[in-house]
Each structure stands twice: as C-alpha cells, then as structure tokens.
Amino acid sequence: MLVLSSSSFSGLILSSPLRLLTSTSFSFIPGYSYVSPTITSPFSGSIHNGRYHSHFAGSRSSDEIGWAFDGQDDLSESSADFSDEETGFDLSTEKSYLHNICTDKSRDNQTINTMEQNPSSDNYIIESQLIQLAPASQIAYFYLQDTLGLPEQTMWKLMFDAASVLGFTVKNLEKKVSLLRRTMNLSDEDVRTIVGKQPSILHLSADKNLGPTILFLVRALDLSKDELRSIVLEYPCILCYAISNLVGKIDFFRDTVGFTTDETRDLVLMEPKLMCAAVMTGLEPRLIFLHNEMNIPLDTLRPVFQKNPRILLYSVEKNLRPKISSFFVDQLQMSREHICRLLSSYPPILDYNLESHIMPMKEYFVSELEYSPTEFRSILLKHPRLVTHSMYKIKHLVGVLHYELGLDARQAKRVLFQAPQTLNIDTETNLKCTVEFLRSTFDLDEVELRKVLAGMPTLMICSVEKNLLPKIEYLRQEFSKKYDCDNVKSSNNGISGFEHLKEAVITQPTLLGYSLEKRIKPRLAKISAAQVDLKKITVGITMKEDKFDQWLAKRKAKVDLYGPEIAARLSSRRVKKESTISVARSSPSTISLSDDASEVPEKENEEIQRETERRKGRIVHWKR
C-alpha cells in the first residue's frame, strides 16, 4: 500500500507493493485504489513550498508535522530523537529524493505520457515530477503485515499504541523477532500472539532490553525454553519490565514467603500474572493480611499458594477480608484452625464470588434445610468443594432424597450433613444404581432401606464393584461358614447366615463403610478365633484397637466359662421395654433365654441374676 498526501487531498493509498516516500500535489492514475490514510496508511508525507513534512498515520491529521526539512541545507540535520537504525528512515536517501524533487523543474512530456499510460510501473508521475518508489520488503508496515502476517486488528492496535514501530527498519524488526524466536522456540503464530498482546515489545532494543531480560529470567528461575515461552505467551508484558523490578518480585517469593527457586518457578509457571503484580502495593499487603491479621502460619500458606497462586492477586478489601474475616469468622464462627483447614483442603474456595454464590448457598442450608450456621460450617469443613456446585444441583439432590428414595426431612438432612460428597456423584447413573444394589442384595424393604441409607449415608458414594461388592462377598462367605451348618442353624431357629448378615447390616450400616483389608478382615478373624458370635462384629468394628482388644478379651472369658452357645445367647439378650427391665429386677429366675426354662443350667441362672443386679442402676441411653 502507498500513501500520498498534500494540502489539497487528505491522503491516498495505492494498491501496489511499493511505498511512495514523498509527494506533492498529484493527479489520479487509473488502476489504483484510493483510500483515506486514517484507515490503513502507516505513514504519510507532504511537501509545501519546498518543505517536506512526514508523520505517522493514526489519530492525527495529515497536516501535523513530524520532521521538517527546509531545502537542501535543512536535510543535513534531523530534529528526531531516534537514530537512522531505530527509526527506519535513511535520511541520506530521502535527502537525495527530496533534492531531486525540489530542484528538477522540467520533465520530458513523452516520459510523462508513457508513465500515465503504464500505471503498473515502479515510478509515479506527480505534477511533472518522477517519483521513485521503495520496495515493500524495506517497509516496516509491509514486513509486519505480510511477512509476520499480523491481522488487521493487530495492525490497528499497533498504529494506535505503538505507531513509531512502523518507522523502524525491517532489519531492526527482524533482529528483535529473531531473538524472540531463538530464545523461546516461537512459531509464527506465537510471534503474532505476542505482538498482538503487547505491541510495545517491538520498541525494546534487542541488545539492551530483550536479551538481558530474557537471560535474567532464565538464570533466576532456571527456565527452559518451553517454560519461558509459556510465560511470555500468556503475559508478554513481563519482558517490558526493568530487571530491577523483576528482581524485587522474585526476592519476595524467595526471601519473604520462603519458597525455593524450583518452587518459585513452578508458582510463576502456574500463574505468570504474579510477575505483573506490584510488590509494595499488591503482594506484600495480601501476605500481611493472611499471615499477620489472620494468624495463618507461613508453613500453611506456602502449600496454599502453590495450589492456588491467584490468592496473591486478590484485593484485600474487596475480596480476602469480606470472605475470610466477615463471612468465615463472623458469620460461621470459624477459628484460625478451621480457616487453616479449609484453605489447606481446598484453596480455590476463595475464587468463588461471595455475594452471588456462597451467601445464597448458606442461606438455603440455614433457612430452607434448617441447618444452624455452625452445622453449615461443619459441612463446609467436611466438604469444601460444596461451593463448586450450583444451587440447582443441590436442590435436585434434595428432591431425589425426598421423593425418589422416600427419606423424610430428618433423614435427608442427616445424609447431607454426614455425606455432602453425595453432591459429587450423578444421581441417575451412580446414586440410584448403588441404592438399587443395596436393596436387591439384602432384600430390603422401604423402611429397612431408608434405615441403612440414613445410618450410613456414605454408602451412596461408594463404588459397587470396587468397594461394596468385595465386602459383602467376604462377609457372606464368613457368615455362611458360621451359621449355615446344620447344628448351628437348628440352634438359631433355622436362620441362615445371610439373614444374620442382613440383620447385622441393618443394625450397624457403618459395617460396610470400613476398610475390608485393614478393619473388617482382621476384626472378624479375631472374633471368629475367640469363638464369639460373628454378629458382634457390629459392636467391635467401631472401636479403636486397644478398646477392641479389651472388649474381645471379656467376650472370650465368657465363652470359656459358659461355652460358645450360652455365651452367645447371653450376649444377645436385650432389654426392649421398661416393663421387661422391671420384671428382670423383681424376679430374675422367671426370665429365660429359650422357650423351655428347664434347659437353662444353674450357672446360667446365676449369671442372669448377676447381670440383672448390675443393670439395676444403669440408664440405657440408646438401643440399636
């Protein structure tokens, strides 16, 4: 494209791969396109009364003056602040062009007629002046547009934000682009991305700015070419900072926060925008709030920053203080330990909007589901990823629990309180399949199913193939060995091992929630070795190891004293009603463990009496 301008015409762009360096008033030539220079023109110039005016096209009009040369004497001195290499203007060449234009007043009419008939020539006729045109390969505008392939939008941005780049020599621009390519293995698209985001990067000197800055980043953070490329592609403005500025930011992470060089590098790679934040007015105030005001130790903050570096970019007054101090501490009554636990388990919780997301969720749990603020705090501490779900998802799950599984309000509330992770699973493909598996495996009716689900809500988030099925198969096998032989089955009124297992699961649904290898198998093996009733796994499974050993020792002593069958019947004896307790206290000899009281030996009656005396002052708080 070519630009011609004069006092009588605002500008002209010729659709030719050559650029007109100077112009006076002119006449149109057929075969060229003429457009206003304020739309596309990178440069325009004009000559008035022997004075040459040149300027960069942009928001300024074509009459604004950039450099002025008055006759041949003025051509020897330039008022520009840039060197020939930086500006791209070869003043000696322009001087000769201008001298020829201003002094040569006559042209051969035949030459004029020939040029007017051949507009594709590399010469141009303007008021009997023969103007020589420079090749497009020597013009910065065409190098950026054609060679680098910058789109029109980027060219517009470059003309408005860094117009002086269009005055650089192509050699100068090639040197900078080549440096960027070599040091970061950039493709053509990468170069276009960097220039599009930060056009002023072409202002920087390859030797004095870009090269030293790249070398400093590579050495200070031990970056590879690909790592440097990922940082610069996202935030090219990092290369525009002074080295002293970058040193202060890296020292903040190393010396103040206490990261190592490798940890600092990983932090910057995860969030390159950290290198754009100011230390005194940005990074330090956020660290002071979290460490000094909220009393969060640096040992806790460092892993939090590594998981979510964006925390160091959030405003203290508009983001961190309202969420942590006003909401977590004041409304949910969280302690410092609670906040440390919350941030450590899920640092991105601070990324969510307080007013439009977290607060409406809290209001729903407190107002509609009737949780207290402290109960909502417990749910949030147990499952911080609760904030990742929409209100639609939460209400949908509550509807499934109420209307499809038949849980009442208390049971549904317990499910969400004990297992808020239920929100993470798909209700159609996971939740309903797990519930149906439990129903069909144990042949549960609706009441029994609801009791199991409410008793151990986490069963709904367990995998059937990898978790529940192996446990049930093992328990069924062990219970069958114990109860399905003829003698034992007859002594248990014909109840099979599977029915005993079903009773155990309904009595203690948490049985299926423990680890098969670390808890269920070892405990059941010890109970079986001690000849204690296997159904007592519902009691022993919940105890700590030392308590379990003490409990098992007492049960084994009873087995040694009375034998397995009588000890089993003694241990399974339950007080179901207040009247039964009264009868046992007044007349213990009338209570029998079987239909035929004569079958109970004398020692058993004595044991019943001692057990009844022991229970006289005992309050039964709950029963399974």
Residue-level pLDDT at 426:
87
Residue 304 placed within a domain: yes
Q: Are residues 8 and 70 in the same domain?
A: yes
Q: What angle do CA 559, 564, 566 make, to 5 degrees?
A: 95
| 133 vs 297, more confident | 297
For position 570, what pLDDT does the model report?
54
Q: Is the pLDDT assigned to residue 598 strictly greater than 90?
A: no
Residue 617 has pLDDT above 70, yes or no: no
101 is a domain residue:
yes
- 139 or 615: which carries more pLDDT confidence? 139
Q: For residue range 276-304, list pLDDT tens digits in order.
A: 999 999 999 999 999 999 999 999 999 99
Q: Could you tell me which residues come within 8 angstroms of residue 406 by beta carbon, excluding any fewer than 6 positions away?
A: 446, 450
DSSP state of 47: E
Average pLDDT of the chain is 75
Which backbone phi and psi does 45 adopt, to 5 degrees?
-145, 160
- pLDDT over 70 percentage in the chain: 67
Q: Are 421 and 463 in contact (CB under 8 A)?
A: no
Q: For residue 418, is it within any domain?
A: no
CATH code for the domain of 162: 1.25.70.10
Residue 116 domain-assigned? yes
What is the spatial distance between Cα 253 and Cα 268, in angstroms, rounded to a whole number?
Answer: 10
Residue at which a domain ends, from 368, 388, 408: 388
pLDDT in tens, 516-544: 999 999 999 998 888 888 888 888 899 99
**What is the pLDDT, as a whole number, of residue 413?**
92
Residue for token pair 């508009």: 318
Look at residue 349 in the predicted model and tell me its pLDDT.
96
Cα angle 515-518-521, degrees, rounded to a multiple of 5 = 90
The single residue listed with the structure tokens 């900078």 is: 176
How does residue 594 score in pLDDT terms, banded at 50, 70 and 90? very low
Q: Are residues 523 and 564 in the same domain?
A: yes
pLDDT tier for residue 489 given thresholds of 50, 70 and 90 = low
Nearest to 538 by CA among 477, 461, 479, 605: 479
Position 498 scores a pLDDT of 85
pLDDT score of 548 more than 70: yes
Question: Which residues are within 8 A (CB) of 503 and not within 5 positions of it... i.e. 6 or more apart?
Answer: 535
Residue 423 lies in a domain: no
Residues 192-215 have a mean pLDDT of 94
Number of domains in the chain: 5
Per-residue burial over 419-440, b if 16 or more Cβ lie within 10 Å, else e, is: bbebbebebeebbbebbebbbe
* Pairwise pLDDT comparison (324 vs 594), residue with the higher score: 324
Among residues 374, 273, 390, which one has the least CA distance to residue 330?
374
pLDDT at 171 over 80: yes
Please give the model's pTM, rounded to 2 decimal places. Answer: 0.67
Range from 48-52, 110-114, 238-242, 473-477 carrying the lowest mean pLDDT: 48-52
Specify the 3-state DSSP secondary structure of 134: strand
Give the whole-number percent of the chain exceeding pLDDT 90. 52
The predicted structure's pLDDT at residue 555: 82
90 or 203, higher pLDDT: 203
Residue whose entry in the numeric block shows the structure tokens 């969030």: 271
For residue 535, what are the contacts with CB-CB under 8 A and spacing of at least 6?
500, 503, 504, 507, 572
Residue 586 has a pLDDT of 36
**H-helix or E-strand spanning residue 123:** strand 123-126
Tell me the range of 63-77, 105-119, 177-191 where mean pLDDT is highest: 177-191
**Domain final position from 248, 274, 300:** 274
Residue 88 lies in a domain: yes
Structural domain contains residue 289: yes
Burial 490-529 (b: 16+ CB within 10 A, else e): eebeeeebbebbbebbbebbebbbeebeebbeebbebbee
Same domain? 197 vs 86: no
| pLDDT over threshold 90, residue 375 | yes
Domain end call among 242, 259, 274: 274
Task: Assess whether 165 and 235 both reside in one domain.
Answer: yes
**11 and 123 housed in the same domain:** yes
Within this chain, do residues 166 and 269 fall inside the same structural domain, yes or no? yes
Domain span holding position 622? 573-624
436-481 pLDDT, tens digit per residue, is 999 999 999 999 999 999 999 999 989 999 999 999 999 999 888 8
Tell me whether residue 447 is in a domain. Answer: no
